[in-house]
Structure 1
Amino acid sequence: MAAVEPELNIGEGLLALATLLSAPPEGPQEEEEGEASSSPGRSLGPGHIGAPKAEVGPTAAAQVQVKPGNTKGIWSADEVPEGSQYDDPWDPREQPEYEVLFKQQVGPEDMFLGMSRKDPSTACCEDMLIKIKLPGTKASDITLDIQEKVLDLRSPQKKLLLHLPHPVDAESGRACFLQEKGLLEVTLRMKRELDFINFA
């Protein structure tokens, strides 16, 4: 008696799949059980392709660990971005055009002598500049709220909830509204984990 191999090779798996797919469709319910079992393709299903799987016992189920916390929640508190509680999907106001730029404080020793370790990358930038186009808006109509990771701007016609790419110092930011251009410029000082290395 030949030994049975525990795993099917690729050729045997393809043959089993071809047998499954070439089986005629099941007929009406009046067929007898003997006729249904006589066709080899009718007794196969997708679970019969490949090597037989070992059944999972109570010991394997006991090894699954569940993280502590609220198991009914879809997301954990770390996965939800800050400021999303202010976003109203039913607000008809449109989002203004904006641009996020990075600013670097450089001196002659950086530009001509290369005495510091600064380079043109955003890792060596200290400030984040956000330019928001608000045509036809007065400065008194703008409400601006800055948090560590969120910029929330509201005006009668526009609404912007921007999740910032880097955490910022909300207390030291400054904003300037250019009425003739209809442009609001918000400058925020970034505070990142590795700034003490990049600015050393």
Structure 2
Amino acid sequence: MDGLSSLQTLQALSNLLTTTDEADDEQDVKSAQPSAKLGPGNIGPPSQSNTTKEASYTKRSNKDIWDEEEVPDGSQFDDLTDLRPEPEFEMMFRQCVGTEDLFLGMSGKDPSSMCCEGLLVKVKLPDTKASDVVLDIREKFLDLRTPKFKLGLHLPHPVHQEEGKARFISERQQLEISLLLRRPTDFVYS
């Protein structure tokens, strides 16, 4: 048994099992000197050459710190120097549900927000008149301003900004904003 573990025996066995092409490859591997140590950066696909990396960095302006896609919609309305308080608000999703949905489940609707058609935002505005309210609706942002309050609300889903409705209920001092959601499957049902 001692003879099987010797280095010469293992090399002889290796020479018997390898073909001539593999033997040439082994000689190349043995004679090659390592040019650099491998590290965590060597894991994965090879990186681009330095010239292409430099070209991608020079395309951007040197004063840009982020891309336009990274900035959320409505961030231009964020005014940190404006100290007006944010009013109380409530956001609810709306679904048009009929008896065939409720009892038979024929349309396949579920309680998730993806099956909702609308969004209702109720904002309490005490001591405010309807003429004092300035409302701006964007696809993913609601901007509401009054002399006493300021509300900048990022919406959870895109909306049809032209098809929204708002009504001010003086008795409750509340503004109700009804918005129609823009869903990715709208074109299927139209």
Q: Determine if the TM-score, normalized by the shorter chain, exceeds 0.5.
A: yes
Q: CA deviation at 1:183?
A: 1.4
**Hey, what does 1:170 align to over in structure 2?**
161
Report the equivalent of 2:99: 108
How far does residue 113 in structure 1 lie from its aligned partner after superposition?
1.6
Q: Does 1:129 align with 2:116?
A: no
- The alpha-carbon distance between structure 1 residues 120 and 196, as it changes in their structure 2 partners (threshold 3 A), is farther
Residue 64 in structure 1 maps to residue 64 in structure 2:
no
Aligned partner letter, 1:108: T
In the TM superposition, what is the alpha-carbon distance from 1:72 to its structure 2 partner? Answer: 2.8
- Count of equivalent residues: 145
Deviation of the 1:196 alpha carbon? 4.6
Question: CA 1:88 to 1:114, structure 2 compared with 1: closer, same or farther past 3 Å?
Answer: same
Structure 2 unmatched runs, 5+: 1-36, 40-47
Give unmatched runs, 5+ long, in structure 1.
Answer: 1-50, 54-58
The residue identity in structure 1 corresponding to 2:145 is R
Partner residue in 1 for 2:66: 75
> What residue in structure 1 maps to residue 132 of structure 2?
141
Shift of 1:132: 0.9
Deviation at 1:60, TM superposition (A): 6.0
* Paired AA for residue 93 in structure 2: F
Q: TM-score, normalised by structure 2?
A: 0.68
Structure 1 position 147, deviation (Å): 1.2
**1:190 matched to which residue of 2?**
181
- Match of residue 14 from structure 1: none
Identity %, equivalent residues:
51
- Alpha-carbon separation, structure 2, partners of 1:128 and 1:150: 13
Question: What does residue 35 of structure 1 align with?
Answer: none
SS of 1:172's equivalent in the other structure is strand
User: For residues 24-79 of structure 1, what are the alpha-carbon distances to aligned partners after superposition, in whole Å with 9 as ceiling and x for unaligned?
Assistant: xxxxxxxxxxxxxxxxxxxxxxxxxxx897xxxxx964463625433431111111
The ranges of structure 1 where at least 4 consecutive aligned residues each deviate by more than 4 angstroms after the TM superposition are: none
- Tell me, what secondary structure is at the counterpart of 2:101? helix
Q: Cα offset for 1:137?
A: 1.0
Cα distance change on mapping 1:129 and 1:122 into 2, 3 Å: same
Residues 63 and 181 (structure 1 numbering): CA distance in 2 closer, same or farther, change over 3 Å?
Answer: same
Q: What secondary structure is seen at the aligned counterpart in 2 of 1:180?
A: coil
Contact 2:94 2:116 in 1 (8 A): yes
State the TM-score, normalized to the length of structure 1. 0.64
**Separation in 2, partners of 1:193, 1:179:** 36
- Return the structure number with greater strand share: 2
d(CA) in 1 for partners of 2:49, 2:143: 49
Q: Partners of 1:86 and 1:115 in 2: how far apart?
A: 43
Deviation at 1:136, TM superposition (A): 1.4
2:114–2:183: 8 Å Cα contact kept in structure 1?
Answer: no
Cα distance in 2 between the residues matched to 1:184 and 1:112: 34
Letter in 1 for 2:74: G
How much does 1:194 deviate?
3.3
